[in-house]
Amino acid sequence: MKYKGQIEFDNIGYLLNVNSREKIEQKRAVLQDIEVPIIHFTDADEFYGKPSDQIHIDSISMSLARRFGYNFESSLAQNANIMIQYRKLTASEDFKCQIKGTSVLLNGTLKFVVTVKDVIVKDLRNSNSLVFSGVNIRTGKEILSFTKYGENWELEKEERDRFANSGDTSYLSGRPNIVSR
């Protein structure tokens, strides 16, 4: 099933994750305070390797978080990750993605279309727990990943578990609004 939605960012900052920390050290001077666009490459551009020549948003990721009081009908839905490539993203005129040191600042609206497995469609619609996980930026051959928790994956696990087990909303704070359309 095709799922269409939009993500509304309001000056939301995400941090470089642990796997990307070493990669940015080599490129820090090039990446300092730059705006990162979404570029729609043609098939020919991809064949000739143009995506590796330009810094751009490669993909975004979202996940279905287990919400307190809701039981997923499909075991595949719990913590399902949804990756959306740049080809399936459309940025509003006011959308901005800017790298600042080891973080990224997102503002504006992104629209997306993604194909979702039929087995999780019902849970996607009923759970109301689709959360924006992060943005992946291509810087040549390397992809840098920025997430809410950055290198602190222990805190992420802790807050995700509290959200699922007691309804604590710390896991949702500091994330953009996702609206289906």
Structure tokens at 103: 């973080």
Number of domains in the chain: 1
Q: Is the pLDDT of residue 63 over 70?
A: yes
Q: Is the pLDDT of residue 51 over 90?
A: no
Interval 11-28 mean pLDDT: 79
Write the DSSP assignment of the chain as a string of letters: -EEEEEEEEEEEEEEE-TTTHHHHHHHHHHHTTEE-------HHHHHTTGGGTS-EEEEEEEEEPPPTT---SSTTTTT-EEEEEGGGEEE-TT-EEEEETTEEEEEEEEEEEEE--HHHHHHHHHH--EEEEEEEEEETTEEEEEESSTT-HHHHHHHHHHHHHH--GGGTTT--EEEE-
- Which has the minimum average pLDDT: 25-29, 38-42, 83-87, 126-130? 25-29
According to the model, what pLDDT value does residue 137 have? 93
Residue type, 137: I
66-112: per-residue pLDDT in tens? 889 899 999 899 879 999 999 999 999 999 999 888 889 999 999 99
Contact 39, 169 (CB under 8 A): no
Q: Is the pLDDT of residue 180 over 90?
A: no
Q: Is the pLDDT of residue 120 over 60?
A: yes
Average model confidence (pLDDT) across the chain? 90
Surface-to-core class of residue 105, CB atoms within 10 Å of its CB (0-12 exposed, 13-18 middle, 19+ buried): middle
According to the model, what pLDDT value does residue 139 have? 86
Instruction: Name the pTM for this structure.
Output: 0.90
Determine the structural domain holding residue 171 and report its residue range: 2-180
